[in-house]
Structures are given as C-alpha cells and as structure tokens.
C-alpha cells in the first residue's frame, strides 16, 4: 500500500488557512466521512483528538500526522491537508506544519497503519518532496507526488 492508495484526490484539501490544528483535523475527517461509506465521524474524531491531546503529532519539517486506530472506519484511510501559511501543531522543531496527513485505521489493523505512518515519515526526509507538496497547485499534482513515495507494499 502506498500513500496514493490510501489518500485519494477527493481527500486532499489545498489551501487550509486561518485554522488551528483541531479545526484542520476536523476538516480532514470530514473529507474521509464524505468519501468513504461506513465511516463514523464522531468515533473517528474522538479517537484522533484523544491521541492528539496525549502528544502532538507534529513531527517537524512542516509535517503533522494526526492518526488513530478506531471503530470509526472500515479500512485504513487517509486525507491530506496542505497549508502554505502553516498551522501550529506544537511540532518537535517548533515550526508550523504545512502538510497534515490524517491516517485512520480500524482497531484490528496494525500492519498497514504502521506502514502508512512510516511512509509519511519518509516524506519528512526529502526536503524537495515536502516543498513540492506544499506548492502543489492541484489535488492531481499532490497525488502524483505521493505516488513517488516508495517502500510500502500493498
């Protein structure tokens, strides 16, 4: 499974601005609920927000990965929010996050969930890819960049 298989065009939101991290997470959760049948918004949000309250998911280099395993989704799924201005996620490096990857998995799923988180972390090691994603002009462009990320099996 590569990121372009768990994040679809209709789950990419460009131009997130003037919101806090909590609102950004809600906006991305809404994309998942709209896109994927069988999703329970309240269960999903409760689990993601509880996880975020324990410790920030801002991993640095402009990336945040709010995530959770939950009864609120039928399969491992993701959404991507892109903010050119950046959102304060209380990141490890103290810098705003421009790429917010919401990764959600069913309670019984571990392998795909961890591989998806690992793939997002791999993006953080590629400054050029980060810059290209932040500057993406369309969901299609962002999808093409996500499709370049290696190392995750179906």
For domain 3-146, give the fold: Mannitol-specific EII; Chain A (3.40.930)
Predicted local confidence at residue 3, as pLDDT: 86
pLDDT at 55 over 80: yes
**pLDDT band for position 27 (cuts 50, 70, 90):** very high
Euclidean distance between CA atoms 150 and 114, whole angstroms: 15
Q: How much is the pLDDT for 152?
A: 41
For 79-120, the pLDDT digits (tens) are 999 999 999 999 989 999 999 999 999 999 888 899 999 999
Buried b (16+ CB within 10 A) or exposed e, 128-149: ebbeebbebeebeebbebbeeb
Write out the catalytic residue numbers. 67
Domains of the chain, by residue range, sit at 3-146
Average pLDDT in the chain: 90
The per-residue pLDDT for 151 is 47
Spatial neighbors of 110 by CB under 8 A, at least 6 apart, are 69
3 state DSSP class of 125: coil
């Amino acid at each position: 499974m590569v990121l372009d298989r768990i994040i679809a065009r209709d789950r990419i939101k460009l131009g997130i601005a003037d919101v806090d991290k909590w609102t950004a997470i809600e906006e991305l959760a809404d994309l998942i609920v709209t896109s994927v049948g069988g999703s329970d918004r309240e269960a999903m949000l409760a689990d993601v927000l509880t996880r975020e309250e324990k410790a920030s998911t801002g991993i640095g280099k402009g990336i945040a990965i709010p995530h959770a395993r939950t009864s609120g989704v039928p399969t491992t799924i993701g959404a991507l929010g892109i903010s050119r201005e950046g959102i304060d996620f209380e990141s490890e490096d103290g810098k705003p996050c421009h790429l917010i990857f919401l990764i959600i998995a069913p309670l019984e799923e571990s392998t795909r969930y961890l591989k998806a988180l690992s793939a997002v972390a791999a993006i953080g090691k590629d400054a050029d890819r980060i810059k290209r994603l932040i500057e993406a002009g369309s969901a299609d462009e962002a999808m093409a960049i996500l499709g370049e990320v290696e190392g995750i099996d179906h």
